[in-house]
């Protein structure tokens, strides 16, 4: 196709970010669900990662709020809606097939909300999101389009992994992945990527010690790497 508008480039980026935010949030909440078995309050560490206040009465209240409450901007449901909002206007770029995975994810999450066994009902979501990424890889022929989505995905993953205090090796792996994606950016589009912030990332993620010490700096650099306006439908 060879012609991408500014708005679509933003939406591609945020499609990548929100899909990944949904996926990583979901996986983190699944771990929380496991920890909650036989305990009353076992979600404080999750709230601490993001600096969210504890306003929840019990495990169930927390899970409802973070999994299914679409009005909570930190919930999995909210992230999925935003991913869909971005995807729906990118049909001709990402394909109807790719979009169908987001619709399936929405339907599966909606069903899980009313399920007696939430963990079991959430299980297909992991497959669906892997299917989405497979479809993106398969159906998007334009490398530039695919790369913008992947940069969004990797930026989000790095951001969340650092906030959730993932091990350095996992973060480093994603960081290398981001560098590879940035290397694929065509030379004629440099202004979309503020590579000067890369040096901040390089310093912060240079070694395990740097990572422990400079996470905040790394998060800041990451936020400015792709100067994209979030587009609301």
Partner 1 sequence: MTQNTQFTKAVGNANEINELLRRYGVKFGIYKNGVFNEQFFPFDPIPRVISAEDFKSMEKGLVQRVNALNEFLFDIYHDKKIVRDGIIPEDFIYISSGYLAECEGITPKNKVYSHISGIDLVQAKDGEWYILEDNLRIPSGASYPLIARELTRIAAPQAFEENPIIDNRGYAKLLKETMEDVNCGGARAILTPGRYNAAYFEHSYLAEHTGSVLVQNDELFVEDNILYHRTYSGGKTRIGVLYRRIADEYLDPLTFLPESLIGIPNLMEAYRSGNVGIINAPGNGVADDKGIYYFVPKMIKYYLGEEPILKNAPTYLPFYEDDMKYVMEHLDTLVIKDVAEAGGYGVVFGSDLTKEKLEEFRATIIAEPRRFIAQEVIDFLDLPILENGETVMRKADLRAFVLSGKTTKVWASGLTRFSRNPDSFVVNSSQGGGFKDTWVLSR
Say whether residue 191 binds partner 1 (CB under 8 A): yes
Cα-Cα-Cα-Cα dihedral of 126, 130, 133, 138, to 10°?
Answer: -150
Say whether residue 182 binds partner 1 (CB under 8 A): no
Q: Which of 51, 92, 116, 209 binds partner 1 (CB under 8 A)?
A: 92
Q: How far is the CB of 154 from partner 1 (least distance, A)?
A: 19
Say whether residue 3 binds partner 1 (CB under 8 A): yes
- In angstroms, the CA 61 to CA 204 distance is 36
Say whether residue 38 binds partner 1 (CB under 8 A): no
φ, ψ of residue 75 to 5 degrees: the values are -85, 160
- In angstroms, the CA 82 to CA 67 distance is 14
From 33-41, 102-110, 149-157, 171-179, give the range in contact with partner 1 by CB under 8 A: 102-110
Say whether residue 1 binds partner 1 (CB under 8 A): yes
Biggest distance spanned by C-alpha atoms of the chain: 56
Per-residue contact string for residues 62-91; x = within reach of partner 1 by CB under 8 A: --------------------------xx-x
Q: How far is the CB of 123 from partner 1 (least distance, A)?
A: 18
The helix/strand count (H/E) of the chain reads as 12, 0
Q: Which of 74, 95, 170, 215 binds partner 1 (CB under 8 A)?
A: 95
Q: How far is the CB of 140 from partner 1 (least distance, A)?
A: 11
Which DSSP string corresponds to 56-97? -SSHHHHHIIIII-TTSTTSHHHHHHHHHHHHHTTHHHH-HH
Count CA atoms closer than 13 A to 49's CA, side-chain side: 15
Q: Which residues sit at the interface with partner 1, rule CB under 8 A? A: 1-9, 88-89, 91-92, 95-96, 99-100, 103-104, 107, 186, 188-189, 191-192, 233
């Amino acid at each position: 196709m060879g012609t991408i508008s500014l708005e679509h480039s933003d939406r591609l980026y945020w499609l990548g970010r929100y899909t990944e935010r949904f996926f990583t949030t979901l996986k983190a909440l699944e771990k929380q669900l496991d920890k909650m078995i036989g305990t009353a309050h076992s979600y404080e560490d999750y709230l601490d990662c993001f600096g969210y206040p504890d306003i929840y009465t019990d495990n169930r209240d927390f899970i409802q709020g973070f999994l299914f409450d679409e009005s909570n901007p930190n919930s999995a449901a909210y992230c999925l809606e935003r991913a869909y909002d971005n995807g729906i206007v990118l049909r001709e770029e990402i394909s109807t097939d790719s979009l169908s995975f987001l619709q399936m994810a929405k339907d599966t999450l909606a069903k899980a909300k009313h399920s007696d066994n939430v963990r079991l009902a959430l299980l297909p979501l992991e497959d669906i999101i892997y299917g989405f990424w497979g479809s993106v890889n398969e159906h998007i022929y334009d490398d530039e389009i695919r790369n913008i989505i992947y940069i969004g995905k990797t930026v989000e993953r790095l951001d969340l992994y650092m906030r959730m205090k993932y091990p350095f090796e996992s973060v480093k792996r994603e960081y290398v992945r981001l560098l590879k994606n940035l290397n694929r950016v065509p030379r004629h589009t440099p202004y979309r990527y503020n590579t000067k912030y890369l040096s901040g990332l390089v310093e912060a993620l240079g070694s395990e010690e740097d990572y422990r010490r400079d996470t905040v700096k790394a998060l800041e650099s990451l936020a400015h790497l792709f100067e994209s306006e979030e587009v609301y439908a």
